[in-house]
Amino acid sequence: MIAERLIEAVGAEAVKTAPEDLAVYAFDAYTQSETLPSAVVLPASTRDVAAIVKIAAACGEPIVARGAGTGLCGGAVPTGGGIVMSFARMNRLLELDVRNRRARVQPGLINLELSKQIASTGLFYAPDPASQKSSTLGGNIGTNAGGPHCLSYGVTVNHVVGLEVVDERGEVFTSDVDDAGYDLTGVLVGSEGTLGIVTSAWVRLLRLPESVRVWLAAFPDVESACEAVSAIVGSGILPTALEIMDSVILGAVEAAFHAGYPTDAGAVLLIESAGFTDEMNAREAEIRAIVRAQGALSWRAAATQAERDALWAGRKGAAGATGRIAPNYYTQDVCVPRTRLPEALRAVERSARAHGIAVGNVFHAGDGNLHPLMLYDKRDRRQVAGVVEAGNEILQTCIDLGGTISGEHGIGHEKRAGMNLIYSTDDLAAMARVRDVFDPKRMLNPEKIFPAGAKCGEPL
Amino acid sequence: MSAGSGRRITPKSVDQLRDVVAACDRTREAVAIEGGNTLRGMGLPPARADVTVVTTALDAVLEHEYRDLTCAVQAGITLASLAESLAARGQYVPIDAPFARKATVGGTLAAGWLGPRRHLLGRARDYVIGSHVVLADGTLAKAGGMVVKNVSGYDMSKLYVGSFGTLGTLVRVNFKTLPLPQRRRAFVAKLPEGTRSRAIAQIAELAIAPAAAFCVEGYRKAIDGEDGTDGRLFVLLEGSSTLIERATRDLRSALGKAGVPETTILDAGAREAFERVLDATVACISDRSVTYHALGSPESIAVRSIAMRDLAHRHELFTDVLADVMNGDTILRVSRRDARAFSASVEIFDDELHAIEPRATIVAGDSPVRSSLLVWGQLPSGLAKMREIKARFDPNRTLNPGRFVGGI
- Kindly tell me if the per-residue pLDDT of A196 is higher than 70: yes
Q: Which residue of A has its CA nearest to B139?
A: A426
**pLDDT tens-digit series, residues A222-265:** 999 999 999 999 999 999 999 999 999 999 999 999 999 999 99
pTM for this prediction: 0.96
Quick one: which H or E segment has residue A274? strand A267-275
B145 interaction partners in chain A (CB closer than 8 Å):
402-404, 422
Report the b/e string of A253-285 with b at 16+ CB within 10 A: bbebbebebbeebbbbbbbbbbbbebbbeebbe
Rounded CA-CA distance A106/A221 in Å is 44
Rounded CA-CA distance A115/A97 in Å is 14
Report the b/e string of A386-419 with b at 16+ CB within 10 A: bbeebbebbbebbbebbbbbbbbbbbbbbbbebb
Q: Which residue of B has its CA nearest to A181?
A: B405
Contact A181 B359 (CB under 8 A): no
Report the b/e string of A59-76 with b at 16+ CB within 10 A: eebbbbbbbbbbbbbbbb
Contact B159 A186 (CB under 8 A): yes
What domains can you pick out in chain A, each with its CATH number?
2-86 (3.30.43.10), 93-207 (3.30.465.10), 211-320 (3.30.70.3450), 326-400 (3.30.70.2740), 423-456 (no CATH)
* Residue A459: band (very low, low, confident or very high) from pLDDT cuts 50, 70, 90: very low
Name the DSSP letter for residue A118.
Answer: H
What domains can you pick out in chain B, each with its CATH number?
54-179 (3.30.465.10), 183-280 (3.30.70.3450), 289-372 (3.30.70.600)
Rounded CA-CA distance A313/A326 in Å is 21
**Secondary structure of chain B in the HEC alphabet?**
CCCCCCEEECCCCHHHHHHHHHHHHHHCCCEEEECCCCCCCCCCCCCCCCEEEECCCCCCEEEEEHHHCEEEEECCCEHHHHHHHHHCCCEECCCCCCCCCCCEHHHHHHCCCCCCCHHHHCCHHHHEEEEEEEECCCCEEEEECCCCCCCCCCCHHHHHCCCCCCCEEEEEEEEECEECCCEEEEEEEECCCCCHHHHHHHHHHCCCCCCEEEEEECCCCCCCCCCECCEEEEEEEEECHHHHHHHHHHHHHHHHHCCCCCCEEECCCHHHHHHHHHHHCCCCCCCCEEEEEECCCCCCHHHHHHHHHHHHHHCCCEEEEEEECCCCEEEEEEECCCHHHHHHHHHHHHHHHHHHCCCCEEEECCCHHHHHCCCCCCCCCCHHHHHHHHHHHCCCCCECCCCCHHHC
The tally of CA atoms less than 13 A away on the side-chain side of residue B402 is 12
Rounded CA-CA distance A267/A261 in Å is 10
**% residues pLDDT > 70 (chain A):** 98
Which candidate in A152, A176, A183 is best for mutational testing of the B interface (most B CBs within 10 A)? A183
ipTM value for the complex: 0.96
A400 interaction partners in chain B (CB closer than 8 Å):
none
Region A406-432: mean pLDDT is 95
Q: What pLDDT is recorded for position B261?
A: 87
Shortest distance between the Cα of B337 and any Cα of chain A, in A, equals 31
Is residue B206 less than 8 Å (CB to CB) from chain A?
no
Of A190, A403, A429, the CB nearest to B155: A190
CB atoms under 10 Å from CB of B87, counted, come to 11
A415: helix, strand or coil: coil
Q: What pLDDT is recorded for position A29?
A: 85
Q: What pLDDT is recorded for position B226?
A: 67
Is residue B126 less than 8 Å (CB to CB) from chain A?
yes
Report the b/e string of B348-363 with b at 16+ CB within 10 A: ebbeebbeebebbbbb
Which candidate in B114, B148, B374 is best for mutational testing of the A interface (most A CBs within 10 A)? B148
Shortest distance between the Cα of B298 and any Cα of chain A, in A, equals 6
First-to-last alpha carbon distance for chain A, in angstroms, is 27
pLDDT in tens, chain B (408 residues): 444 568 999 999 999 999 999 999 999 999 999 999 999 999 999 999 999 999 999 999 999 999 999 999 999 999 999 999 999 999 999 999 999 999 999 999 999 999 999 999 999 999 999 999 999 999 999 999 999 999 999 999 999 999 999 999 999 999 999 999 999 999 999 999 899 999 999 999 999 999 999 999 999 866 766 667 789 999 999 999 999 999 999 999 999 999 998 899 999 999 999 999 999 999 999 999 999 999 999 999 999 999 999 999 999 999 999 999 999 999 999 999 999 999 999 999 999 999 999 999 999 998 899 999 999 999 999 999 999 999 999 999 999 999 999 999
A239 interaction partners in chain B (CB closer than 8 Å):
none
Q: What pLDDT is recorded for position A456?
A: 44
B209 interaction partners in chain A (CB closer than 8 Å):
207
- Kindly tell me if the per-residue pLDDT of A30 is higher than 90: no
Which candidate in B131, B150, B164, B171 is best for mutational testing of the A interface (most A CBs within 10 A)? B150
Is residue B393 less than 8 Å (CB to CB) from chain A?
yes
Contact A364 B126 (CB under 8 A): no
Q: What pLDDT is recorded for position B230?
A: 81
Shortest distance between the Cα of B41 and any Cα of chain A, in A, equals 15
The rounded mean pLDDT for chain A is 94
β-partners of residue B73 are B61, B173
A404: helix, strand or coil: strand
Q: What pLDDT is recorded for position A239?
A: 96
B377: alpha, beta or left, given left = phi > 0 and alpha = psi -120 to 50?
left
Rounded CA-CA distance A403/B148 in Å is 10
Q: Which of residues 170-229 of A touch B (CB under 8 A)?
A: 173-187, 189-191, 195, 207, 210
CA distances from A258 to A261, A305, A368, A373, B293 (A): 7, 16, 27, 21, 55
Rounded CA-CA distance B231/B244 in Å is 25
B163 interaction partners in chain A (CB closer than 8 Å):
182
